[in-house]
Amino acid sequence: MSTGTQPRRQPARAALAGWFGTTIEFYDFVLYGLAASLLFPKIFFPAADPLVGTLISLSSFGVGYVARPFGALLFGHLGDRMGRKFILVTTLVMMGLATTAIGLLPSYGQWGIAAPVLLVVLRVVQGVSFGGESSGAVLLTVEHADEHRRGFFGGILNTGTAVGTILANIAFLLVSQLPEEDLLAWGWRIPFLASFLLVVTGFVIRVKLHESPEFEDAKGTGAVRRLPLVDVLRKCGGTVALVTLATISAGVSITVGSIYVLTYGKTALQISTTTMLSVILPGLVVVVISAPLYGRLADRIGPRTVFTAGAVAMAVFPFVWFPLLHTKEPILMFLGFALLFGGYAANFAMFPVFFSQAFPVSLRFSGMAIGFTFGTIFGNALAPAISATLLESTGTWLSIAGYMAVAAIISLVAGLLLRQPRAEHPESAEVKAVAPAV
């Protein structure tokens, strides 16, 4: 725990800054995914075969995930050397400018091949930014908070993922009401350009923040490393691997439950995308409401307990969720999403406090950024393709539910093995000062 002092409002302001940035990042990231699925094949990737254009467009979405590890490595290293605040202002500006620039790009018909090339470049910038933002926002929030409120503030922070996803879907649904000609000509740009206003607000909030008091203490005692990226892999490589595995289940659950399910609903259930979104979006509200409550519970009984309970729920509820989907009754479908996302929220809300405790302050940004980012690749990025392949090969939802359950068990075991740094660690003096009990 930090020995320095800070204004009483700083923890709440840090939580707001982290939440706002996370919301913007997910808004931008999800918005691109929606446009890549439904609009960009016609605007940037026209082809004789529409399927080919769609596949190329979706590949440009995947480029964002490929770029994220580079952002994690770069900003994790810089965050442990230069501080959390500088990195978070940088990543927010990068993401906002990239998203705004996408909204200003000429189409393929206007600029030819240069248009999709620039689109992919901007998508790479989004991915690099996201790789640093996710862990940086966590640390700025958690390291500003008192030990007995870190779970609560971390839970609030992680509602930003659901809020950003909801806002992106709402913005996309609103512009989709335009006539197709207007939508393809200029309407699709509005949600991307709106990101600029959000970024300006987030920038003002973040630039007024103080640096993390724990990082300042580490800097003051000379604990800041010259090569944190090298040191974290050498001294905490096992912990990084466990964080990666512990992240997988939440990524699989939320991606299957909010993205792949749109395809499943259309092909297996013959349910329209609009109908599916009408039950998915209220389901995501469950995450917004429950995550802070789980965080408060974690402050009382410990984040490990809540994390593992969430993992168990994610192993069981897919076998309830799919039958409820197959009823095609909106209320029962919503109940299924509420159960699935409720388990996800319990697990995901613990990431900030649980994972940050696993690393000493001087290596925390690098360790969390690498572990979390690779976890999202194995979880979020691969989940749609794996789910589609399982359904195609087996013909039953049971295979997808089994896949989700296996991912949950992997994360459960990793969570049980994850430990905070021990006192006999070479950085024992630092660890004693900063590591709260799990």
Residue spans of the domains in the chain: they are 1-224, 228-418
Mean pLDDT by 10 residues, the chain (438 residues): 52 86 86 84 80 74 85 89 86 91 94 92 92 85 87 92 91 90 94 90 85 79 76 92 97 91 89 88 95 96 97 98 97 97 97 93 90 91 88 95 98 94 44 37
Q: What angle do CA 220, 225, 230 make, to 5 degrees?
A: 165
Residue type, 323: P
- In 3-state terms, what secondary structure has residue 227? coil
The burial class, CB within 10 Å (0-12 / 13-18 / 19+), for 75 is buried
Residue 190 exposure: Cα atoms within 13 Å on the Cβ side: 16
How many residues are there in the chain? 438
Q: What is the pLDDT of residue 385?
A: 84
Nearest to 399 by CA among 309, 246, 264: 264
Q: What is the pLDDT of residue 45?
A: 87
Nearest-angstrom CA–CA distance, 334 and 247: 25
DSSP annotation of 421 reads P
Q: What is the pLDDT of residue 431?
A: 37
Which runs of E-coded beta strand occur in 186-269? Answer: none
Nearest-angstrom CA–CA distance, 130 and 201: 18
Q: What is the pLDDT of residue 421?
A: 66
Same fold, 1-224 and 228-418: yes
Q: Which fold has domain 228-418?
A: Growth Hormone; Chain: A; (1.20.1250)
Nearest to 345 by CA among 250, 248, 243: 250
pTM value is 0.83
Alpha helices in 256-329 (DSSP H): 261-267, 273-301, 303-316, 318-326
Q: Which fold has domain 1-224?
A: Growth Hormone; Chain: A; (1.20.1250)
Q: Which two three-digit tokens encode residue 325?
A: 């989907």
The DSSP element (H or E) to which 14 belongs, if any, is helix 10-38
